[in-house]
Amino acid sequence: MKVIGINGSPRKGWNSDILLDNALEGAAAAGAEVKKYNLFDLKYTGCLSCFACKRIDGPEYRRCALKDDLKPVIDDIMDADALIVSLPIYYGDAPGAVRNLYERLWFPPNIYSKEGKVASPMKTKVGLIYTMGAPDPKFNGNLAEKDKAIFERFFGPTEVLNVTDTYQFTDYSKYTSSMFNPEAKKKRREEVFPADCKKAYEMGERLAR
């Protein structure tokens, strides 16, 4: 069992990254081989619409043909049994780095067939972890539902963990942030976030089975 973890946040050691580490720890405890990538360490672009992934009998059929820092990551994901992506929500959507990854994961198997077929359907389990400063995931629309539906079409069974009302700074007095209650944020960090980390750990365990 091979599990790939993707940190889609530019902030290492913070909410999304911590939750991903917990998920990978759970997967490792269940006996999986785990590997982690930090997207913001890599240099790459989104899909360039070269269509090499759809060329009949082409060498890159069903896989992204672009050769940059993301190529080995995509290759690892395509060969894995499970994928876990942990990301913050920015303006109701994923960060650009994650969107670029998704373009290059989702477009290749989406062949232009009138029957709506998928090229080489996979059986890769997926876990999606979303972190947000908002107190309710409804503030971010239907992003999780949309991502889940796409991953289930092209990859496999997908589960979602929403982690809300996150602690953004260690010192709120240094930033323009009057809409937040620093003490309430700190209290939630101390009392609720550990439970979220446990949920992430349990997600990793389930995906590795």
pLDDT at 120 over 60: no
Would strands 125-131 and 82-88 be described as parallel, antiparallel, or unpaired?
Answer: parallel
Torsion of CA 11, 14, 16, 21, to 10 degrees: 110
Report pLDDT digits (tens) over 48-70. Answer: 999 999 898 888 888 899 999 99
Q: Are 125 and 84 in contact (CB under 8 A)?
A: no
Question: Any residues with CB less than 8 A from the CB of 116 and at least 6 apart, and which?
Answer: none
Q: What is the mean pLDDT of residues 38-49?
A: 96
Predicted confidence at residue 118, as pLDDT, reads 63
pTM for the whole structure: 0.94
Q: What is the mean pLDDT of residues 97-123?
A: 82
Give the domain extent around 148: 2-208
Report pLDDT digits (tens) over 160-177. Answer: 999 999 999 899 999 999
Q: What is the mean pLDDT of residues 119-148?
A: 86
How far apart, in whole angstroms, are the C-alpha atoms of residue 145 and residue 163?
15
pLDDT at 116 over 70: no
pLDDT at 189 over 80: yes
The pLDDT > 70 percentage for the chain reads 96
pLDDT at 35 over 60: yes
Predicted confidence at residue 87, as pLDDT, reads 97
**Residue 162: which CATH number?**
3.40.50.360
Greatest CA span in the chain, whole angstroms? Answer: 60
Identify the H or E element spanning 114: none
Predicted confidence at residue 113, as pLDDT, reads 75
Question: Any residues with CB less than 8 A from the CB of 176 and at least 6 apart, and which?
Answer: none
The pLDDT > 90 percentage for the chain reads 77
Q: Are 54 and 107 in contact (CB under 8 A)?
A: no
Q: Which CA distances in Å does 1 have to 39, 125, 156, 194, 202?
A: 23, 11, 15, 27, 16
Predicted confidence at residue 119, as pLDDT, reads 55
Q: Domain count of the chain?
A: 1
3-state secondary structure of 83: strand
Tokens of 24: 């990978």
Predicted confidence at residue 123, as pLDDT, reads 87
